[in-house]
Structure 1
Amino acid sequence: MKGKKHIGAVRLKLVELSPDGARLKIYRSQVHPTSEFVHPPEVGEELTDRFGPYINEAVERFIYVLDKQTIIEEFTYQIKWIANAARYLMEKGASLYMMHWHLLDTIQHVFLSSIDPTAGGYDPEKAEKGWEILKLSYRLADMLVGEFIKLLDDSSYVIVVSDHGHVPNKKRFPLLKALLEAELIAAKKNEYGDLVVDWQRSKIHISTTNIYVNLKSRYENGVVEDSEYEKVRNQVIDLLRNLKDDEGHHVISFAFKREDAAMIGLWGEPVGDVVYAYSPGYTWSHNRFEENISVDRGANHGPQIPTAETLYGSNYAVFMIAGPNIKKGYVRPLEMLGPVLTVDVAPTVSYL
């Protein structure tokens, strides 16, 4: 959308107006384009004309400042919009209706750690508020799924799938400090006097849970000869596997070479020369210099191993399906068959 003009639609609600007019609170929804947010693009205007403005990022960003009634009203509007659009397009002969709903992700990033005693900085006095918001979020999710269940017939399926779960953060480990001490990265001070990575002088580049060797043959400003490639990779893996925190726990759960990454479902050009993941409880620490291990709040789904779980959270994703010839009440036995993999979802939908 950058550099282009678009027509947008918006919802407004007068939330508060004092009798003397001295205090005014207005909720304004996300301004969303009326076209090019669905496929085919022209259907967007048709749906907007029939059902009103589409809202992608409903009110989860204002969960602290809006009243509960407005929150429920706006999410109910969003859910009804999505369901009405599905019903309308099904009546017009659509064979697939696929949509994304982000509320549970946003809410768990913020509030999961407030209910989980294993989280960093857990405060039992904040647990009640966390439970209230999480329960409300799952009631809304139940409402959304329920609207689609109403659309089931003898030739339709409802599939609920997520790309990840959530587990609480506990600690941040000074990873950049360890890499700097091992001379795998270089550092400099920025205009504010803060220490930052000098990537052009570093032997490696870090991107979340992938590490790339800064090869001369690959990058314009590379510093590592091809003959040193394996040496650098081995040095990185050895360092990561031996990092321990102040309690003697391993910070990194696994670290291995890209050619071994297929065993966890990763392959292709974007995969790093070294792939690693943090142990349960640790969050990203590749993006800023820190001297010491620190407590970290919130929750995440990217840094920790895919099987990380606590009593209250899990990194495992969700896969649920209902429809003709689907066994009712079946629960896949993880211990015997393992989890459903994300690469299994599209072929399953295509088969159906």
Structure 2
Amino acid sequence: MYSAEEDPHASRIHLKKASGWKNVPDSHSEPLEATLDLGSEELKVELYILVVNSQGKGYDRVLISTERDAGKPIEVLSLGEWTDWVRLRFKGKSSEVGTVRLKLLELSKDASRLRIYCSQIMPTTGWTYPEQIAAELVEQVGPFLQRIGYIQQGRIYGAWAGHRTMMEELEYQHDWFARAAVYLMGNYDWDLLFLQSHAPDYIFDNLIKEAEPLTTSDRERSERYLELIDRTYEIVDRAIGRIAERADEDTLVVVVSDHGVIGFHSTRHVDDVISEILEKEGLLFYRSRAVQPGTKPKFGREEINWSRTKAAFFDSIYIYLNLKGREPDGVVEPEEYEGLRDRIIEALRSYKDPRLGTCPFSLILKSEDAK
């Protein structure tokens, strides 16, 4: 992401009066320019943008080029438009060709607000076996897109660029999946075709708390998000259908999920809830209170006082007892082990979310019962 305003998710665009450009188009306001550095410190390429006022109603077009020549643009974008996919050579410690496309997300009439989204930059080789298939797929099917809707640059990696952009990339990605699968099935001998779609995981991670009617803070937002979830499954289903059409009567088609998902039945994160319960029970103590309860001490976010702690919570689903003789700083006597487990289970079952009035835990098991 690139932005003319300070944005923790974006690299800063510094607009200034354009100079040194060839073939500058007519503009009712002074043309503005900036550079975009794509890639990383190791491998990058510089693009040039020219912002113009083509209709006399304010800045409305962004020209993107590999050089300061408006007669040789990659694309001239209006609000909400994408460039075509473009191949660029990224240089640095080595040299590598990558594919990318850009989208104009925002442009105010005075150009004080300008945001440009950059898709994931994908190499044209190095992601298949045998090696040559990658270049073949790019040539026959189009550029591959591994991650969708993520902001790739800036201080925070992995933020979302907006739901419309996310869904547009999801559509492209799954259309590519289907076309690539059909191409490979038709041009190579094969015994097993395996395809993984991360789309449901993406969408639920991003939307589930506000999509869930029980926990949403805005009913209209919940309805919009549920529609996006439905649309995601339609996109995935359409790709599966196109691939399954190529299967003959001797081919077994299996669709499977590696895990499920449920809504947040709490207005607070489960890590915070469980850590708070353990603290109130006098079972969990910290040397410091840094950022986020329930996170592993080795990540530096919390420092647990193990000399006083009897139970600690890690990895969103596990509560560990600090058992003497098993743990380096164990304080729980073996004879109190079972009683302490029962006490923790009862405390979890008794907890009620302060706003919803319900218990967020649907299943609480001892380790031997979970096997």
TM-score category, normalised to shorter length: 0.5 to 0.7
Q: Give the count of matched residue pairs.
A: 255
User: Does 2:145 align with 1:55?
Assistant: yes
Judging changes above 3 Å, is the alpha-carbon distance between structure 1 residues 112 and 150 closer, same or farther for their aligned structure 2 residues? same
Equivalent of 2:184, from 68, 85, 89?
A: 89
Which residue is equivalent to 1:169?
Answer: 264
Equivalent AA in structure 1 for residue 369 of structure 2: D
Bigger-Rg structure (1/2):
2
Give yes or no for contact 1:83–1:148 (8 Å, CA) kept in 2: yes
Per the TM alignment, residue 105 of structure 1 is displaced from its structure 2 partner at its CA by 2.7
Q: What CA deviation, in whole Å up to 9, does each residue of 1:182-221 have, x standing for no partner?
A: 2221123246899956153322232211222223544444
Which residue is equivalent to 1:75?
Answer: 170
Which residue is equivalent to 1:100?
Answer: 196
Judging changes above 3 Å, is the alpha-carbon distance between structure 1 residues 43 and 5 closer, same or farther for their aligned structure 2 residues? farther
Segments of structure 2 that go 5 or more residues without pairing to the other structure are 1-41, 43-92, 151-159, 294-300
Q: Give the secondary-structure state (helix, strand or coil) at the position aligned to 1:167.
A: coil
Name the one with the larger strand percent: 2
Judging changes above 3 Å, is the alpha-carbon distance between structure 1 residues 197 and 117 closer, same or farther for their aligned structure 2 residues? same
Which residue is equivalent to 1:256?
Answer: 365
Per the TM alignment, residue 49 of structure 1 is displaced from its structure 2 partner at its CA by 5.0
Q: What CA deviation, in whole Å up to 9, does each residue of 1:123-173 have, x standing for no partner?
A: 233345335533432332232122212221122233222233443324237
Question: Which of the pair has the greater relative contact order for Cα pairs under 8 Å at 6+ separation?
Answer: 1
C-alpha distance in 1 between matches for 2:261 and 2:332: 37
TM-score, length of structure 2 as denominator length: 0.55
TM-score, length of structure 1 as denominator length: 0.57
After superposition, the CA RMSD in angstroms is 4.1
User: Does 2:243 align with 1:148?
Assistant: yes
Name the one with the larger helix percent: 1
Equivalent of 2:229, from 131, 134, 152?
A: 134
User: Does 2:347 align with 1:239?
Assistant: yes
C-alpha distance in 1 between matches for 2:247 and 2:236: 17
C-alpha distance in 2 between matches for 1:188 and 1:25: 43
Judging changes above 3 Å, is the alpha-carbon distance between structure 1 residues 127 and 51 closer, same or farther for their aligned structure 2 residues? same
Give yes or no for contact 1:179–1:185 (8 Å, CA) kept in 2: yes
Judging changes above 3 Å, is the alpha-carbon distance between structure 1 residues 86 and 251 closer, same or farther for their aligned structure 2 residues? closer
C-alpha distance in 1 between matches for 2:252 and 2:264: 36
Q: What CA deviation, in whole Å up to 9, does each residue of 1:2-55 have, x standing for no partner?
A: x99895733213547979995865442212355564556775455345434321
Judging changes above 3 Å, is the alpha-carbon distance between structure 1 residues 87 and 6 closer, same or farther for their aligned structure 2 residues? farther
Judging changes above 3 Å, is the alpha-carbon distance between structure 1 residues 226 and 113 closer, same or farther for their aligned structure 2 residues? closer
Equivalent AA in structure 2 for residue 254 of structure 1: L
Which residue is equivalent to 1:12?
Answer: 101
- Aligned residue runs from structure 1 range 29-44, under 5 A: 29-34=119-124, 37-38=127-128, 43-44=133-134
Q: Give the secondary-structure state (helix, strand or coil) at the position aligned to 2:197.
A: coil
Q: What CA deviation, in whole Å up to 9, does each residue of 1:251-307 have, x standing for no partner?
A: 433333211112xxxxxxxxxxxxxxxxxxxxxxxxxxxxxxxxxxxxxxxxxxxxx
Give yes or no for contact 1:8–1:31 (8 Å, CA) kept in 2: no
Which residue is equivalent to 1:290?
Answer: none
Equivalent AA in structure 2 for residue 179 of structure 1: L
Which residue is equivalent to 1:198?
Answer: 304
Give the % identical residues.
29
Equivalent AA in structure 2 for residue 203 of structure 1: K
Equivalent AA in structure 1 for residue 99 of structure 2: V
Equivalent AA in structure 1 for residue 313 of structure 2: I
Give yes or no for contact 1:241–1:254 (8 Å, CA) kept in 2: no
Q: Give the secondary-structure state (helix, strand or coil) at the position aligned to 1:255.
A: coil
Segments of structure 1 that go 5 or more residues without pairing to the other structure are 263-352
Judging changes above 3 Å, is the alpha-carbon distance between structure 1 residues 193 and 104 closer, same or farther for their aligned structure 2 residues? closer
Judging changes above 3 Å, is the alpha-carbon distance between structure 1 residues 178 and 78 closer, same or farther for their aligned structure 2 residues? closer
Per the TM alignment, residue 181 of structure 1 is displaced from its structure 2 partner at its CA by 2.6
Per the TM alignment, residue 235 of structure 1 is displaced from its structure 2 partner at its CA by 3.3
